């Protein structure tokens, strides 16, 4: 009876090891090779902006509290996902994210386009007690965020690290990170005007948690959530999505009108 090929190979230890290495190398090449053409495969868009220091602090809090365990930030190309969340995610939208928050594990909804969908007040209430705005929510509350001050003094170091990784922060942005953090959460202040000049007039400046006398972790987290899907309009250009990006100011005005 003819002997099967794999049985012959299994008896030849050296040959078997070489075949294992060859098989593993194929998988490695498939994963690594595209990285050499990353500049060609990842889109470049002229309106892409960097995170402000306050938004970066909020992202750090988001990761620290494990929000990624229940919320992804990746809308896939499936029709039902696009209908529910908006245009599918592009790689360019996460080019300044380290680590990226992509994934498909969703205990809660995807947050890739949450920016501007709800007002700052809604987010503040949601973080203090999610069931105040979503009665069926099983999300835990985070009331301590409103009582904890942001460590603004450490953000220059954070921006320096991001700068070293290729994020285009200027030396001026790094030097003024602490003042820009305070400015984004204190509208009509000198720091706010200076911050807007550095990061652009479209940057949202707001008393995110409703308090202007201090900058809390709740300010930072809301600032981060409000910018998700807002760093660039690339996903809304030349796509089948008929809607426009959400407008945080419009969301706030709608809430105010409803309360009146």
Percent of the chain with pLDDT strictly greater than 90:
52
pLDDT at 165 over 70: yes
| Chain centre distance of CA 59 | 7
Rg (CA), the chain: 23
Q: How confident is the model at residue 173 (pLDDT cuts 50, 70, 90)?
A: very high
pLDDT at 258 over 70: no
Find the farthest-apart pair of alpha carbons in the chain and give their distance in angstroms, rounded: 89
Distance CA 191, CA 157 (A): 19
Query: In whole numbers, what is the pLDDT of the chain averaged over residues?
Result: 86
Low-confidence winner among 31-45, 85-99, 154-168 (lowest mean pLDDT): 31-45
Q: How confident is the model at residue 238 (pLDDT cuts 50, 70, 90)?
A: low
Q: What is the pTM of this model?
A: 0.79
In sequence order, the β-bridge partners of residue 149 are 216
Contact 169, 53 (CB under 8 A): no
* Domain ranges across the chain: 50-259
Q: Please give the pLDDT value at position 252.
A: 54
Closest CA to 45 of 94, 85, 10: 94
Tokens 């790689």 correspond to what residue?
91
Q: Please give the pLDDT value at position 28.
A: 85
When pLDDT is averaged across residues 183-211 and rounded to a whole number, the result is 91
- pLDDT, one tens digit per residue, over 15-60 is 788 888 998 899 888 888 877 776 666 677 888 999 999 999 999 9
pLDDT at 247 over 70: no
Q: Please give the pLDDT value at position 36.
A: 77
Domain 50-259 homologous superfamily, CATH: Cytochrome c-like domain (1.10.760.10)
Distance CA 216, CA 248 (A): 20
Q: Please give the pLDDT value at position 100.
A: 84
Contact 58, 124 (CB under 8 A): no
Distance CA 178, CA 128 (A): 26
| Token digits of residue 16 | 């078997």
Q: Please give the pLDDT value at position 47.
A: 86
């Amino acid at each position: 009876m003819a002997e099967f090929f794999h049985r012959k190979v299994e008896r030849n230890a050296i040959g078997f090891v070489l075949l294992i290495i060859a098989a593993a190398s194929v998988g490695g090449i498939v994963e690594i090779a595209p990285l050499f053409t990353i500049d060609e495969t990842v889109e470049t868009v002229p309106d892409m902006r960097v995170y402000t220091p306050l938004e970066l602090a909020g992202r750090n809090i988001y990761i620290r509290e494990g929000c990624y365990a229940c919320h992804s930030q990746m809308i896939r190309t499936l029709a039902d996902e696009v209908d529910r969340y908006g245009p599918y995610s592009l790689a360019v939208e996460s080019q300044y994210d380290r680590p990226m928050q992509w994934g498909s594990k969703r205990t809660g909804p995807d947050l890739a386009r949450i920016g501007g969908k709800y007002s700052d007040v809604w987010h503040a209430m949601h973080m203090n007690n999610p069931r105040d705005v979503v009665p069926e929510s099983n999300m835990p509350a985070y009331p301590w965020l409103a009582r904890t001050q942001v460590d603004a003094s450490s953000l220059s170091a954070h921006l320096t690290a991001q700068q070293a990784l290729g994020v285009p922060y200027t030396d001026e942005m790094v030097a003024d990170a602490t003042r820009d953090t305070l400015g984004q959460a204190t509208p009509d202040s000198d720091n706010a005007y200076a911050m807007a000049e550095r990061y652009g007039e479209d940057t949202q400046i707001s008393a995110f948690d409703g308090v202007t006398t201090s900058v809390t972790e709740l300010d930072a987290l809301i600032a981060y959530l409000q910018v998700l899907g807002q760093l660039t309009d690339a996903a809304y250009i030349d796509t089948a999505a008929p809607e426009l990006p959400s407008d945080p100011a419009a969301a706030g005005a709608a809430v105010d009108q409803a309360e009146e």
